[in-house]
């Protein structure tokens, strides 16, 4: 378990003066489960602060509810651990959001539950908070995952963060932040019902959790073997084979979200050397799911074109899925007479094909 890492999770679904969201608390719960898992973040439960709408009533939590809880946890973490600051802080934000247009530099903000349309209020600035955690000497690095809209607000500024009195650390490495954002500036973030478990999830968050759990582990997509690649960390070369890194999770989430929605994931905050996020065990078998729209005839063939299952005729005019569980190997999916080579994704526990 990681005694010196900390996580802050905020998932807000209830907005009395806007419109409610259906998937944000599901996303927060999924990220919490990943943080606790031994093959994921491996954090102790007491090192995870979770703030969700179902912890409050009416138009709470507001900015001050959120900030007081976070400030207490961050500032007291070093005291509880005998002066040791967290090596890394994970921040996961899911809810309504906007980009301020009144500040000198546009800021991405999570809207608290009492936010109102067109009214400037106390909104929670994501990047400023991540940066100041390092500047104040409260951690060494930050992973920020932001599943909120980034549409510009109308003459709205972010709430300034008021830390307890203390000295900033000169030359603090504020570039030691990895930020992954659900969409580009000026665009919304979307959610939909997950076809696997029928829960409403954010497109970004569901892809993020897939990647962190295994799908973004670095493997050679051509040979099905781990690549012989390393990264120069400035202190010598470090091997990232079989690990989920900040680079690989960005590439995976960006690709998957673009396939299932019209969102474009961005990563404006990148560390000088990739962060290692997890080292998940790769499974020996895999599940193949097909997303399809309209009637299709499907056949799954091995690399020698031997049929793995009877052909299946699928009907419907909405997205649906059909699955096989097979041993990890190279396969061909025949879709209405068209062959799709599917061996290139076998580092994954679940392979999705969009037809």
- What is the percent of the chain with per-residue pLDDT over 90, rounded to a whole number? 24
CATH of the domain at 242: 3.40.50.1460
Cα angle: 34, vertex 38, 40; to 5 degrees = 40
| 105 plus 216 within the same structural domain | yes
| 48 plus 151 within the same structural domain | yes
Is the confidence at residue 124, as pLDDT, over 70? yes
Instruction: Count Cβ atoms within 10 A of the Cβ of residue 314 and give its class: 0-12 exposed, 13-18 middle, 19 or more buried.
Output: middle
| 188 plus 316 within the same structural domain | no
pLDDT at 93: 97
Averaged pLDDT, 289-299: 64
DSSP secondary structure code for residue 162 in this structure: -
Report residue 340 as tokens. Answer: 């799709």
| 315 plus 234 within the same structural domain | no
| 197 plus 304 within the same structural domain | no
| 169 plus 71 within the same structural domain | yes
Is the confidence at residue 231, as pLDDT, over 70? no
Pairing of strands 48-52, 88-94: unpaired
| 302 plus 254 within the same structural domain | no
Contact criterion met (CB below 8 Å) for 247 and 274:
yes
CA pseudo-torsion sign 193, 194, 195, 196? negative
Question: For 33-64, what is each residue's pLDDT tens digit?
Answer: 999 998 888 898 989 999 999 889 888 998 88
CATH of the domain at 333: 2.60.40
| 213 plus 341 within the same structural domain | no
pLDDT at 31: 96
Domain containing 347: what range?
285-354
| 250 plus 270 within the same structural domain | yes
Q: Which of 41-55, 192-206, 212-226 has the highest mean pLDDT?
A: 41-55
- pLDDT, mean over the chain: 76
| 248 plus 317 within the same structural domain | no
Pairing of strands 108-110, 124-125: antiparallel
| 337 plus 196 within the same structural domain | no
Q: How many domains does the chain have?
A: 2
Question: For 152-169, what is each residue's pLDDT tens digit?
Answer: 865 555 566 666 655 566
């Amino acid at each position: 378990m990681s005694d010196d890492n900390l996580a802050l999770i905020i998932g807000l679904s209830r907005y009395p003066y806007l419109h409610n969201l259906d998937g944000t608390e599901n996303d927060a719960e999924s990220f919490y489960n990943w943080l606790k898992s031994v093959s994921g973040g491996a954090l102790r439960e007491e090192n995870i602060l979770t703030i969700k709408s179902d912890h409050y009533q009416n138009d709470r939590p507001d900015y001050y509810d959120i900030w007081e809880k976070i400030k207490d946890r961050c500032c007291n973490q070093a005291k509880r651990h005998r002066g040791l600051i967290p090596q890394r802080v994970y921040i996961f934000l899911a809810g309504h959001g906007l980009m301020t247009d009144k500040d000198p530099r546009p800021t991405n903000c999570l809207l608290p539950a009492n936010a109102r349309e067109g009214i400037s209020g106390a909104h929670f600035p994501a990047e400023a908070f991540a940066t100041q955690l390092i500047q104040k000497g409260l951690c060494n690095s930050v992973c920020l995952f932001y599943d909120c809209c980034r549409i510009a607000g109308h003459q709205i500024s972010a709430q300034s963060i008021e830390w307890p009195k203390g000295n900033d650390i000169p030359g603090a490495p504020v570039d030691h932040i990895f930020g992954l954002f659900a969409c580009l500036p000026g665009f919304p973030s979307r959610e939909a019902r997950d076809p696997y478990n029928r829960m409403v999830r954010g497109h970004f968050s569901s892809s993020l959790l897939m990647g962190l759990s295994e799908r973004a582990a670095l493997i050679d997509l051509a040979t099905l073997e781990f690549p012989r690649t390393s990264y120069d960390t400035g202190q010598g070369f470090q091997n990232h084979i079989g690990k989920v890194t900040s680079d690989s999770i960005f590439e995976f989430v960006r690709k998957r979200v673009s396939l299932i929605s019209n969102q474009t994931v961005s990563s404006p905050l990148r560390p000088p050397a990739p962060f290692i996020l997890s080292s998940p065990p790769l499974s020996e078998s895999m599940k193949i799911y097909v997303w399809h729209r309209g009637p299709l005839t499907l056949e799954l063939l091995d690399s020698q074109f031997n049929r793995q299952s009877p052909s299946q005729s699928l009907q419907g005019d909405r997205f649906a899925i059909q699955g096989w569980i097979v041993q990890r190997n190279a396969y061909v999916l025949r879709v209405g007479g068209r062959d799709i080579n599917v061996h290139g994704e076998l580092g994954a526990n679940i392979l999705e094909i969009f037809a």
